Structure 1
Amino acid sequence: MIAEVIIEISHQNIDKVFHYIVPKNLESKVKIGLRVKVPFGKGNKKIRGYIVGFSNNSSIEYEKLKSINNIEDLYPVFDEHMLELAKWMKDYYGARMIDCLKCMMPPFMKITSEKYISINRQIPLEKLKNIIKEYKNKKKYKAQARILSFLMDNNEIPLSEIKKILQISNSSIKSLINKNLIQIKEVDLDKDPYSHIDFKKTKPLIPTHEQKNVIEYIINKLNNAKGEEILLHGITGSGKTEIYLQIIDEVIKLGGQAIVLVPEISLTPQTVERFKNRFGEKVAFTHSKLSYGERFVQWKKAKEGKISVMIGPRSAVFTPFPSLKLIILDEEHETTYKSEISPKYHAKEVAKKRCDMVGGLCLRSSATPSLDSYYEAKQGQISLLTINNRVNNSALPKVDIIDMRKELEAGNRSIFSIKLKEEIQKNLDKKEQVILFLNRRGFSNFVSCRKCGYVLKCKNCNISYTYHAYNNSLQCHYCGDKATVPSVCPQCGSSHIKYFGVGTEKVEEKVKEEFPEARVLRMDLDTAKGKYGHEKILNKFKSMEADILIGTQMIAKGHDFPNVTLVGILAADLTLHIQDFRSAEKTFQLLTQVSGRAGRGNLPGRVLIQTYTPDHYSIQTAKNHDYLSFYNKEINLRQRLNYPPFTHIFSILITGENEKNVISSTYGLMEIMKFFNKKKKFELYGPAPAIISKIKNRYRWRILIKCKDRDLLMQYSFYCINKFNQINQTKGKLDINIQTDIDPLIMV
């Protein structure tokens, strides 16, 4: 018996099936999907492999074949269905098979218990505070002080997680254990990670007329699904989550299982509460805040059919349900659904493929669908359902645009407009809450005039230049065009021209200066650390322990705070002028989503958008909650400029520690691509530095290729890369790395 094995090494030359003899004592145990240890290479080093099939013969003589050493698991980690999916991903994304298989599994297998660390609560609080104060002043004990401070704010936390968050060694932990200041215990991971919350059973709500129509349509399709795809366009507050709950209830009654994908940032306590209240132990969650062990246990429960619903970020699309009938993508427009590491898959495409394979239904949903999805729906490629009203018939918030150019003319150089300061004070006086949103979703600075709002853009690409502080220059990272930073605005002659940028810490500092009586919370990657970091901040705000919540896109969606009546958007321009042809779309989506946090209760909502470009169509249509007007304007622009969805883009990123090698390699590859593009079937852009041109001492250059035919584009690009690699092998090693991506959503 011969097993076909994929070796756990991600390398182009090893991306193929290897044959191994199955020993007689293992013949009754081997199955597709099992992990095995096999001898590999000249030294017969034991290495992990994955059985992907069996064969009766081999191109290698039987006597020369090596044998499997042993089996690592009691049951397969993937079945034939998931193997078929992995093969599709390998071809569709131009990835290596081992990378496709590994992304389907939890980070670690066989973990059933984990060490948890906590502070010794028997020690008086004042004594602990004094110890922390003493340790902070001694260099030798500073790490121990950080551990104690962190644990004072957290109950129990996995040892592995606190080491990762605080970047500490075992010695500091051991010292605190020996002093009896902290405790460690072994915790059985079979328990629910949310067992600390008291959930109360809820019944389905009576749907509105619009909700009822949507639910009936989807359930009808669900009963007859054959890879059906539906786009649900429902405004903020229209009750999309209740629709999910009622559809999933029907799936469970049919004996099926459902996956609900959410952007990582939207996996809020409120999401957990609503699903747990409705389905109890039938629902499980997986996300990066859980430990590796906890994620493995949830995965195992799904594989064994012990749960019916899995909720999580994009990786949850690989949940090994045996009777999958439904996959929902909530906030389907989010860029976090696209993986940035190999295989660079999009959860939307993988979900569609899985539903095709099992005859299930894929539901995409958003208040601001991606242009690609809405275009598919308008073309009749997928079904389109629309909800235009909020569930409680409350009005959408009133949105006002503040022209920050006029604030500057009036002498106000603060990050807050006069009107926003007045409205915040009104809310504080009325004991109503405020959300201040910083539209900080981008990687590059841009140069703009604070007087007239003019932004310096590339004449070739209609995309803003990126400002490089190190040499005070401007560059287009799409086509490579360069420009000098003008001393005065080319449009109005003002000297108020500078690069744009501000952070959440700065906003918090200014809020406390302007409103010293206000209780302020800040939510970003720095403040929301730990497994329950998001939960603690949001629960404080929900329970009225704070008046103002400051945050980035973490607070833009998925939250329902009835007492929030004012949302202030501080810098609408930050995403509008990032170097990305999707910048207008991302701006409209974020502004619309965060505006939807206001007025969700009985009180009316107000939104103030501060901007230096108040007339831009993305801001004007967001003000009017007018998705269709935005879509029509943007889709026409995309068609004229030949951007997706009217074409496909293939990205090639070349990195290396030697800048000269990286640049020469990029130009060398471009020459090959030009040579094989004599019929001009492909549009070539570059070479140009990547938007972030150097990361961890590795220089980064990029080439972009456009073509309407996705398959032809993939074939051409990889053919040219292979030709380049063949030429390089004859010249000697250049120590560069080539990364590829088809239809990237973010290009840093």
Structure 2
Amino acid sequence: LAELNEVTRTALMERSGATSTVIAAMAKKGIVEVYTRKVSRFSYFGVSGGGLPKLTDIQGAALDKVHKSWLEKDITLLHGVTSSGKTELYIHLIDYVMRRGRQALYLVPEIALTTQLTSRLQRVFGDKVLIYHSRFSDNERVEIWNRLLDDPSPCVVIGARSSVFLPFGSLGLVIVDEEHESAYKQQDPAPRYNARDAAVVLASMHGAKTLLGSATPSVETFWKAVNGRYGLVELLERYEGGQLPEMRLVDMTLARKKGEVKGIFSDELREDVSGALGRGMQSILFLNRRGYAPVARCKMCGFVPKCDHCDVSLTYHRRIDKLLCHYCGTPYAVPDVCPACKEPGIEVLGYGTERIEEEVDSCFPGVAIARLDLDTTRNKDSYENIIEDFSRGKSQILVVTQMVTKGLDFGNVSVVGVVNADAIINFPDFRSAERAFNMIEQVAGRAGRKNSEGKVAIQTYSPSHPLFRFLLSHDYHGFYANEIDERRRFNYPPFVRVIYIYIKHKDPVAVGSIANDLASKLRTLLGNRISGPEEPTVARVQTLYIRRIMLKVETNASISKVKQLLNDVRIEMTNAGRLSGAIVYYDVDPM
């Protein structure tokens, strides 16, 4: 009985009529032996040892270049277009390290990615594959922690950003997949760190090599690669000669004038999705806004309900029939009458993924639709179930937020629709163009991955935006050249390092006064390196008013001296009582 798992043992006991008392009596007489054996929650019982994936000539050449690059530099960037076969190279490199008795860390930006990667790696490495992320329970995470602490034997850990803190005994390789992703940056709460940068430091501590992989590398990383600080290897062709998807702009202003738009979908996008369904193919519709509608408004007086604790309008979620704050999570009932004019005129405006799902259902009745966003992936298994169902063809249309832009591999997708590109492009931040290019190029890369033709329709009211020129031709190098020139002219990273200094206070007058005082003192010491203070896009979160000061530091400056200077000013203001009731913190290299 001791060798059986709990379910089998219970079933046998029920079938035989035995109880725990009977078993205890039998054990006392020496008929059976009862003992405890520790069994890992992550034991793999499937088929493993299937062999390494076969590489094409182009992949093999890239693999050789990676090894040669590591002879001179510890960090190498692998720039490979979407579906170029970067994962196969990762598997070969992991095998190379493990055969030499060392461990590997495979970082991914999104928990959803662990689902597909785990099965692919387990087919090769079996139970030497470990998974670690925040959706696991404390007991599950402790088990992984203790295994690495007690056993330095070869293994590969697939994990999200917190995996960099695991106690590796013999780390030989760190892979940071989709290294450009802002999801690697921990914003709140502290510690505020970028897992990509922390992974580089972790690898250097162990004498390990680092491989950064992306189809759209961050501007800073690519700049370091082309200037010789990192090694650079490029895979600019899709696996086995596959073609990159055809990118098309849909001018929504012109389409509306012609009456070719119904709801939020243009006729062109509808026809693409309908054609894919007719061929037995799948489609992905991308909108980076969850909920049903982003704004509720009174049609009589224009009143917009806002959160009591944050300076943001509320998003309507139809499933729970509530207005929800996406910053503090507070739910509000939808008012029957407008609080301002007392008229029953509250309506919802705009589209979120929940509303897109509803509209797709009305356009294509009877078609299986899935939605992948924060609201549908609250529990640990939600990611896996939605992705697995779509991979197996149980759903034909997937409505997604940016979760799907992070390297998921779907072999039957032929159409991708970017429902509202303007919401991504028009954002007040120096990284907005980079973020928009990465997001659209990555989601487009989900189409046409298995030797099928892919189509991408980008709906926009700004077709003349210069970013689209690079997107339509999948021209990362052209985009990089344009972006690096902008960064150089306006003195932004990688030519400087940016530090944001945040001041928060419950009193709106006090926060302004403290921020002005702090900026003045810093400007005296650092001159025009200081900008602000300013109100961020959302100027109040969880009852705290916010001001932000920007500090630009030369790349060759001593960060330890800057840290000491900032700390001295903070201590001086604290001793003078100027920071009473305020929260001051720093965000280095913000994403």
Q: TM-score, normalised by structure 2?
A: 0.80
Report the residue type matching 1:252 in the other structure. M
Give the structure 1 partner of residue 504 of structure 2: 655
Give the structure 2 partner of residue 210 of structure 1: 58
Q: Contact (CA 8 Å) 1:438, 1:569: kept in 2 or not?
A: yes
Please tell me the root mean square deviation across aligned C-alpha atoms, in Å.
2.8
Q: Contact (CA 8 Å) 1:587, 1:619: kept in 2 or not?
A: no
Q: Which one of the candidate residues 278, 282, 288 is aligned to 1:429? A: 278
Q: Which one of the candidate residues 236, 248, 251 is aligned to 1:388? A: 236
Q: Which one of the candidate residues 399, 404, 407 is aligned to 1:555? A: 404
Give the structure 2 partner of residue 335 of structure 1: 182
Give the structure 2 partner of residue 414 of structure 1: 263
Q: How does 1:76-91 map to 2 (within 5 A)?
A: none
| Residues 1:611 and 1:193: Cα distance change in structure 2 (over 3 Å) | farther
Q: Report the Cα offset of residue 649 of structure 1.
A: 0.9
| In 1: Cα distance, 2:578 partner to 2:52 partner | 67
Give the structure 1 partner of residue 535 of structure 2: 689
Q: Deviations over 1:479-516 (max 9, x none)?
A: xxxxxxxxxxxxxxxxxxxx996311111111112222
Q: TM-score, normalised by structure 1?
A: 0.64
Segments of structure 2 that go 5 or more residues without pairing to the other structure are 1-5, 12-35, 296-310, 315-347
Give the structure 2 partner of residue 57 of structure 1: none
| In 1: Cα distance, 2:256 partner to 2:111 partner | 34
Q: How does 1:468-479 map to 2 (within 5 A)?
A: none
Secondary structure in 1 aligned to 2:240? coil
Give the structure 1 partner of residue 518 of structure 2: 669
Q: Contact (CA 8 Å) 2:504, 2:582: kept in 1 or not?
A: yes
Does the alignment pair 1:279 with 2:125? yes
| In 2: Cα distance, 1:701 partner to 1:190 partner | 52
Q: Report the Cα offset of residue 528 of structure 1.
A: 1.5
Secondary structure in 2 aligned to 1:676? helix
Q: How does 1:615-634 map to 2 (within 5 A)?
A: 615-634=464-483
Q: Which one of the candidate residues 371, 393, 405 is aligned to 1:522? A: 371
Q: How does 1:440-455 map to 2 (within 5 A)?
A: 440=289
| Residues 1:545 and 1:299: Cα distance change in structure 2 (over 3 Å) | same
Give the structure 1 partner of residue 439 of structure 2: 590
Give the structure 1 partner of residue 421 of structure 2: 572
Report the residue type matching 2:170 in the other structure. S
| In 1: Cα distance, 2:436 partner to 2:459 partner | 13
Give the structure 2 partner of residue 180 of structure 1: none
Q: Report the Cα offset of residue 722 of structure 1.
A: 3.0
| In 1: Cα distance, 2:564 partner to 2:38 partner | 44
Secondary structure in 1 aligned to 2:504? strand
Q: Deviations over 1:206-258 (max 9, x none)?
A: 21122112222333555x57x61100000111110110101111111111111
Q: How does 1:492-511 map to 2 (within 5 A)?
A: 502-511=351-360
Q: Report the Cα offset of residue 586 of structure 1.
A: 0.7
Q: Contact (CA 8 Å) 2:418, 2:456: kept in 1 or not?
A: yes
| Residues 1:615 and 1:211: Cα distance change in structure 2 (over 3 Å) | same
Q: Report the Cα offset of residue 718 of structure 1.
A: 4.8
Q: Report the Cα offset of residue 554 of structure 1.
A: 1.2
| In 1: Cα distance, 2:215 partner to 2:558 partner | 34
Q: Deviations over 1:302-342 (max 9, x none)?
A: 22225511110112123322211111100010112222243
Does the alignment pair 1:706 with 2:555? no
Give the structure 2 partner of residue 308 of structure 1: 155
Q: Which one of the candidate residues 168, 171, 188 is aligned to 1:321? A: 168
Secondary structure in 2 aligned to 1:690? coil
Secondary structure in 1 aligned to 2:152? coil
Q: Which one of the candidate residues 356, 370, 379 is aligned to 2:204? A: 356
Give the structure 1 partner of residue 75 of structure 2: 229
Q: Which one of the candidate residues 723, 728, 747 is aligned to 2:569? A: 723
Q: Report the Cα offset of residue 712 of structure 1.
A: 4.4
Q: Which one of the candidate residues 385, 389, 409 is aligned to 1:536? A: 385
Q: Report the Cα offset of residue 469 of structure 1.
A: 6.4
Q: Deviations over 1:425-454 (max 9, x none)?
A: 12222221111111349xxx99xxxxxxxx
Report the residue type matching 1:330 in the other structure. D
Q: How does 1:141-156 map to 2 (within 5 A)?
A: none
Q: Contact (CA 8 Å) 2:505, 2:511: kept in 1 or not?
A: yes
Does the alignment pair 1:259 with 2:108? no
Q: State the structure with bigger RCO (CA 8 A, min sep 6), 1 or 2.
A: 2
Report the residue type matching 1:422 in the other structure. E
| In 1: Cα distance, 2:110 partner to 2:38 partner | 22
Give the structure 2 partner of residue 404 of structure 1: 252
| Residues 1:582 and 1:733: Cα distance change in structure 2 (over 3 Å) | closer
Secondary structure in 1 aligned to 2:482? helix
Secondary structure in 1 aligned to 2:360? helix
| In 2: Cα distance, 1:717 partner to 1:413 partner | 55
Q: Report the Cα offset of residue 629 of structure 1.
A: 0.7
Report the residue type matching 2:107 in the other structure. L
Q: Deviations over 1:292-311 (max 9, x none)?
A: 11111112112222551111
Q: Contact (CA 8 Å) 1:524, 1:551: kept in 2 or not?
A: yes
Does the alignment pair 1:270 with 2:116? yes
Give the structure 1 partner of residue 339 of structure 2: none
Give the structure 1 partner of residue 337 of structure 2: none
| In 1: Cα distance, 2:535 partner to 2:422 partner | 24
| Residues 1:237 and 1:731: Cα distance change in structure 2 (over 3 Å) | closer
Report the residue type matching 1:535 in the other structure. E
| In 2: Cα distance, 1:512 partner to 1:188 partner | 51
| In 1: Cα distance, 2:450 partner to 2:64 partner | 27
Does the alignment pair 1:608 with 2:462? no
Q: Report the Cα offset of residue 202 of structure 1.
A: 2.1
Structure 1, 278-287 or 346-355: larger mean CA deviation: 346-355
| In 2: Cα distance, 1:659 partner to 1:432 partner | 54
Q: Contact (CA 8 Å) 1:407, 1:417: kept in 2 or not?
A: yes
| In 2: Cα distance, 1:363 partner to 1:694 partner | 39
| In 1: Cα distance, 2:530 partner to 2:38 partner | 52
| In 2: Cα distance, 1:733 partner to 1:582 partner | 31
| In 2: Cα distance, 1:684 partner to 1:423 partner | 50
Q: Report the Cα offset of residue 398 of structure 1.
A: 1.0
Q: Deviations over 1:592-648 (max 9, x none)?
A: 111111111232111111112222232221221111011111111111111111111
Report the residue type matching 2:177 in the other structure. D
| In 2: Cα distance, 1:501 partner to 1:687 partner | 32
Q: Contact (CA 8 Å) 1:219, 1:250: kept in 2 or not?
A: no
Q: Contact (CA 8 Å) 2:102, 2:153: kept in 1 or not?
A: no
| Count of matched residue positions in the alignment of Structure 1 and Structure 2 | 507
Q: Contact (CA 8 Å) 1:650, 1:713: kept in 2 or not?
A: no
Give the structure 1 partner of residue 587 of structure 2: 741
Report the residue type matching 1:383 in the other structure. G
| Residues 1:297 and 1:724: Cα distance change in structure 2 (over 3 Å) | closer
Q: Contact (CA 8 Å) 1:650, 1:717: kept in 2 or not?
A: no
| Residues 1:671 and 1:386: Cα distance change in structure 2 (over 3 Å) | same
| Residues 1:606 and 1:351: Cα distance change in structure 2 (over 3 Å) | same
| Residues 1:282 and 1:381: Cα distance change in structure 2 (over 3 Å) | same
| In 1: Cα distance, 2:584 partner to 2:361 partner | 47
Q: Report the Cα offset of residue 674 of structure 1.
A: 2.2
| In 1: Cα distance, 2:312 partner to 2:133 partner | 36
Moved >6 Å (runs of 4+): 467-470
Give the structure 1 partner of residue 23 of structure 2: none
Q: Contact (CA 8 Å) 1:500, 1:574: kept in 2 or not?
A: no
Report the residue type matching 2:56 in the other structure. T
Q: Deviations over 1:517-544 (max 9, x none)?
A: 2211111111112111111111111221
| In 2: Cα distance, 1:213 partner to 1:729 partner | 62
